[in-house]
């Protein structure tokens, strides 16, 4: 009860004193996989006051996966989605949905890895014939990369959606799934203790290292009505990125969130999320993404060159006017 009153008082004071915040613009952001470094940066930046500095008031919605985040932006419930799967974005954009890409969220797939139980006879994806290989949800970047890994190994494995990394870990350890997926840092402790063996990394899939697999998208109407707000949002995001790699504060927040020591957090971040991979620009591998969208029935036919440059044009425009 005491806590309740203190909280209420603090909130009241903050609202009164935070005159600065009164002038801020509201941006509703959808993200997913709370706890992942790249997906949670906006929260770290918000907690550190970086978005406030740019007069942005963030409202963050944590969804179950990229597709939900994307749908909420398309329908206008949310203004921006961070880290939503590239194929889904291309497919929706091609169908005329009112969303536009404003930057890359993740290029390459250094954060993802696939593993097996330590006592499994599977040594690499090539050994997974007739076995189950997991990904998170249909249409996600894990879906795409798992498919590419399997195709590259030319093996007849069964791709199965297993949800988030924690749920996947349970299923692997309970022998329900043969090859599980995870993202740094989840599972690294088990690797260290010898419970699991990592058999593939996201970047093992051919071409992925130079491919932007997740995008930041904005609702087109919101952008048209608030171009300045989006520019400030991107500037704040870039500042958050720089801050997160230049100092240890974000690292500490991330370590606390995931129950890691600072050393573990640092090594996990450097291993899984190299600074260059998270830069919003340049947006890479769009042609590859388009091709995969066609192969995976997300697009009926490839986009023309004109369409591709139109697809990327919004990001160019916004960036051009916000570059520091």
Partner 1 sequence: MKAFVEHRWGPAFAGLLLVVALGGCLQLAVGGGLISPFVIPLPSDVLAEVPSLFTEEGLAHLFALTFGITLLATLLSTVIGVPVGLFLFRQRDFGQAYENWLGAIFSAPVILLYPLFLVVMGRGLHTIVVMSVFVGVTPIILSTYRGFLSVPPVYVRVARSFNMSSHDTFWKVLLPAALPSIFTGIRLALIYAMINAVAIEFLVSIGGLGFLVGDLYDRYNIPGMYAAVGFVIIASMIFFSGLEWLEKWLDPQ
Partner 2 sequence: MSASTGAVPGPIISRVTVIRVVTLLAVWAIYEAASRSGLFFEGVVPSSFVVLRTMFETLASPEFYPHLFRTLTEVVSGFVVGVVAGVSVGIVFGSSRLIAGMISPWVNYLGPAPKIIFLPILLLVFGVGMGSKVAMAALSAFFPVVIATHAGMRHIPPVYLRVAKTFNASWHQIVTKVYIPALVAPVMTSFRLAIGVAFIGTLLAEIKLSNQGLGYLIIQHYNFLRIPEMYAVLLLTFMLAVAANASMGWLADRVEHERH
Please tell me whether residue 116 adopts helix, strand or coil conformation.
Answer: strand
Name which of partner 1, partner 2, none residue 67 binds, using a CB cut-off of 5 to 8 Å depending on partner kind: partner 1
Segment 146 to 175, residues that bind partner 1, using CB under 8 A: 160-163, 167, 170-171, 174
Segment 174 to 203, residues that bind partner 2, using CB under 8 A: 174
Name which of partner 2, partner 1, none residue 77 binds, using a CB cut-off of 5 to 8 Å depending on partner kind: partner 2
Cβ atoms 219, 25 nearer than 8 A:
no
Name which of partner 1, partner 2, none residue 3 binds, using a CB cut-off of 5 to 8 Å depending on partner kind: partner 2
Name which of partner 1, partner 2, none residue 95 binds, using a CB cut-off of 5 to 8 Å depending on partner kind: partner 1
Rounded to an integer, what distance in angstroms lies between the CA atom of residue 51 and that of residue 53?
Answer: 5
Number of other CB atoms surrounding residue 199 within 10 Å: 20
CB of 303 to partner 1, least distance (A): 16
Q: Which of 50, 58, 78, 265 binds partner 2 (CB under 8 A)?
A: 78
Bond before 159 cis per omega within 30 degrees: no
- Could you tell me how many residues of this chain bind partner 1 (CB under 8 A)? 27
Rounded to an integer, what distance in angstroms lies between the CA atom of residue 204 and that of residue 145?
Answer: 9
Q: Which of 9, 11, 167, 262 binds partner 2 (CB under 8 A)?
A: 167
Q: Which is nearer to partner 2, 184 or 318 (CB)?
A: 184
Q: Which is nearer to partner 2, 164 or 280 (CB)?
A: 164
Q: Which of 38, 46, 68, 292 binds partner 2 (CB under 8 A)?
A: 68
Which residue(s) pair with 233 in the sheet? none
Cβ atoms 122, 116 nearer than 8 A:
yes
**Part of the chain binding partner 2 (CB under 8 A), chosen from 54-62, 138-146, 245-253, 301-309:** 54-62
Cβ atoms 125, 113 nearer than 8 A:
no
Q: Which is nearer to partner 2, 167 or 262 (CB)?
A: 167
CB of 104 to partner 2, least distance (A): 24
Binding mask 26-65 for partner 1 (x = CB under 8 A): ---------------------------------------x
C-alpha to C-alpha distances, 256 to 58, 74, 208, 251, nearest whole angstrom = 22, 33, 31, 9
Name which of partner 2, partner 1, none residue 91 binds, using a CB cut-off of 5 to 8 Å depending on partner kind: partner 1
Bond before 210 cis per omega within 30 degrees: no
Cβ atoms 177, 171 nearer than 8 A:
yes
Cβ atoms 35, 234 nearer than 8 A:
no
Closest CA relative to residue 144, chosen from 206, 87, 103: 87
Site membership for partner 2, residue 170 (CB under 8 A): yes
Site membership for partner 1, residue 117 (CB under 8 A): no
Please tell me whether residue 301 adopts helix, strand or coil conformation.
Answer: coil
Strand (E) or helix (H) holding 190: helix 188-192
Cβ atoms 158, 230 nearer than 8 A:
no
- Residues found near partner 1 in the complex (CB under 8 A): 65, 67, 70-71, 74-75, 88, 91-92, 95, 97-98, 137-139, 160-163, 167, 170-171, 174, 176-177, 297-298
């Amino acid at each position: 009860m005491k806590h309740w009153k203190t909280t209420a008082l603090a909130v009241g004071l903050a609202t009164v004193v935070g005159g600065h915040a009164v002038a801020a613009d509201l941006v509703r952001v959808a993200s997913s996989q709370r706890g992942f470094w790249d997906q949670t940066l906006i929260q770290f930046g918000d907690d550190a006051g970086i978005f406030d500095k740019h007069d942005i008031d963030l409202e963050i919605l944590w969804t179950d996966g990229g597709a939900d985040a994307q749908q909420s932006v398309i329908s206008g419930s949310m203004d921006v989605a961070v880290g939503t799967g590239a194929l889904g974005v291309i497919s929706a954009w091609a169908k005329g949905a009112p969303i536009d890409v404003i930057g890359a969220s993740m290029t390459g797939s250094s954060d993802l890895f696939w593993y097996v139980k330590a006592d499994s006879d599977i040594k690499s994806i090539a050994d997974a014939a007739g076995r189950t290989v997991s990904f998170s949800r249909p249409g996600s970047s894990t879906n795409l990369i798992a498919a590419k890994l399997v195709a590259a190994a030319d093996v007849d494995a069964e791709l199965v959606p297993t949800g988030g990394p924690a749920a996947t870990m349970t299923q692997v350890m309970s022998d329900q799934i043969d090859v599980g997926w995870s993202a740094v840092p989840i599972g690294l402790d088990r690797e260290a203790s010898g419970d699991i063996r990592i058999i593939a990394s996201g970047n093992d899939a051919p071409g992925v290292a130079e491919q932007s697999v997740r995008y930041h998208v904005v609702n087109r109407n919101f952008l048209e009505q608030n171009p300045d707000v989006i520019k400030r949002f991107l500037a704040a995001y870039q500042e958050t990125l720089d801050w997160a790699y230049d100092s240890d504060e974000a690292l500490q927040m991330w370590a606390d969130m995931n129950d890691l020591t600072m050393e573990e957090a640092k090594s996990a971040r450097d291993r899984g999320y190299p600074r260059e991979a998270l830069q919003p620009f340049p947006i890479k591998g769009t042609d590859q993404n388009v091709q995969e969208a066609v192969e995976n029935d997300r697009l009926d036919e490839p986009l023309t060159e004109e369409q591709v440059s139109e697809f990327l044009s919004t990001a160019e425009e916004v960036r051009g006017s916000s570059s520091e």
